[in-house]
Structure 1
């Protein structure tokens, strides 16, 4: 269940109206990297691990709920930045308060131009925050990413927090309002915190690589194909040991030649690794059986009934 507390998580404030920045801030209200996207992504992902990983379910639900709190902060800030706009949209006088608020006639004309670019925000909604990005594209469930595998979902979430953090960082460059910057800095910092939470949760799952069940083909898991001509660069991505599997990177300097020599890589040999096709198939069966056992045990009906919540008998 959800319970709404009529206070913001952070004391959001603005010093004066700013229609232009309110429009930019819509990016974090209804955009692809915004707070609604994050809230819905973590909320949906949580369902898949309610029984199998109740600790991760708890974390995902907590963070999802906090993201709704952040959506409220963004929406409240947008509304404060539009102070006076709702009424003045109905005032056509050139010397209206809207003109003064926007620092002159030229600014008001720019505002009218912006309204034509994004009429849903300025005209249809009357200044109320809409579930769109900053240029008026409607929010879409296609923003939500989830694979049904916890290790994959946590990695997706780390990427989502990274993108959101960068958007807030960029937004801070477009306002001089110290109060608005305080709110943006808080929201940006919470993205950093969530990044670490998801990383810690991922690290607590062992093994967590590769995501899913099936292991990689040992012939290709440590091959680096040099797919471009010109100056070549070496680094931990193509020399030394691979960071997660500990295999020796094999640098293929001429991929076209290698493909022709190996019958389209069908005759490629596994080198630089202790893994073999036999060991891979053994691992596939072991991981598959282990995950199936955990899932079956977690979701098995009790006394012939499946219940999402467990209510303790206090009698």
Structure 2
């Protein structure tokens, strides 16, 4: 159940119209890293963990709902930046008024050029926000990422917050309006907050690596293939122990020769790890059973009926009625 409060979560302000920046800001309204994408991604992901992971479901729904409020902030800011455009586009009697409204900052030729690049924004929407990115590509559901596994989804969300944060950073470079920057700084900061929330939730699920259920093959999980020749570098990605599985990295200096010598890696041997195929299979079965039990216990019908919600007041009323009886 959604309940709309008409005041914005953050008091967005604009000092003056700016048609061009309004167009850029569409990137966070209907773009692949924008607020609608984030809201829908977290909203859809939440369905899969409603019963099995109620705490994480609550978090996902809270953040998804906040992202909708951020979409409202972005939309309101775009509309304020277009102050005058909506009215002047409707003033078909006097074409010169549009240039006057632009205050000389964009000649009519530039305005026509922008309209040709994104005609929906300037010609079809009548000076209101559109669900497109900054060049007019329509928003679509392919932006949404979800794997149905909570540990994988949380990692996807960490990446989504990272991308959105970077877009806000870049947007701030293209406006001198301190009020607009104030809003963008707030929205950017909330991306950082959400990043940490998803990260904390991920750390609370154990085990959470690798994503999903099945462990990796110990013959290949710590192999580093030196696939390029020239200046070779060492780092925590190819020396010492791997950060998650704590296996010793094995550097394959000549991948072609190695692949040929191992019959296309079919004869590869495990090195630098205590994991074996037997222990992997044991852990796979154990975790599979745990996750299956968790989900089935949480989604088991009661008296032959599956219910999505529990209405506390209704239960209390029934309880009171039973006591009176």
Describe the SS at the equivalent of 1:224.
Answer: strand
Instruction: Give the CA deviation at 1:105.
Output: 7.9
| Whole-angstrom distance in 1 between the partners of 2:301 and 2:4 | 33
Segment of structure 1 superposing worse, 101-110 or 268-277: 101-110
Whether the 8 Å contact between 1:26 and 1:133 is mirrored in structure 2 is yes
What is aligned with 2:7? 7
Per-residue CA deviations over 1:73-125 (Å, capped at 9, x if unaligned) read 000000000000012124464642x3233232852321121011111011100
Question: Runs ≥4 in structure 1, deviation > 6 angstroms?
Answer: none
Describe the SS at the equivalent of 1:305.
Answer: coil
Describe the SS at the equivalent of 2:134.
Answer: coil
Task: Please show how residues 269-308 of structure 1 align to structure 2 within 5 Å.
Answer: 269-308=269-308
What is aligned with 1:246? 246
Describe the SS at the equivalent of 2:230.
Answer: coil
| Whole-angstrom distance in 2 between the partners of 1:145 and 1:94 | 45
What is aligned with 1:231? 231
Whether the 8 Å contact between 1:94 and 1:105 is mirrored in structure 2 is no
* Aligned residues: CA RMSD: 1.1
Describe the SS at the equivalent of 2:6.
Answer: coil
Q: Which runs of 5+ in 1 are unaligned?
A: none
Segment of structure 1 superposing worse, 100-109 or 211-220: 100-109
| Whole-angstrom distance in 2 between the partners of 1:147 and 1:30 | 22
Describe the SS at the equivalent of 2:137.
Answer: coil
Task: Please show how residues 1-315 of structure 1 align to structure 2 within 5 Å.
Answer: 1-91=1-91, 93=94, 95-96=96-97, 98-104=98-104, 107-312=107-312, 313-314=315-316, 315=320
| Whole-angstrom distance in 1 between the partners of 2:109 and 2:225 | 55
| Whole-angstrom distance in 1 between the partners of 2:86 and 2:60 | 37
| Whole-angstrom distance in 1 between the partners of 2:19 and 2:254 | 56
Describe the SS at the equivalent of 2:224.
Answer: strand
Per-residue CA deviations over 1:155-191 (Å, capped at 9, x if unaligned) read 0000000000000000000000000000000000000
Describe the SS at the equivalent of 1:139.
Answer: coil
| Whole-angstrom distance in 2 between the partners of 1:101 and 1:181 | 23
TM-score scaled by length of structure 2: 0.95
Change (3 A) 1:39 1:262: same
TM-score scaled by length of structure 1: 0.98
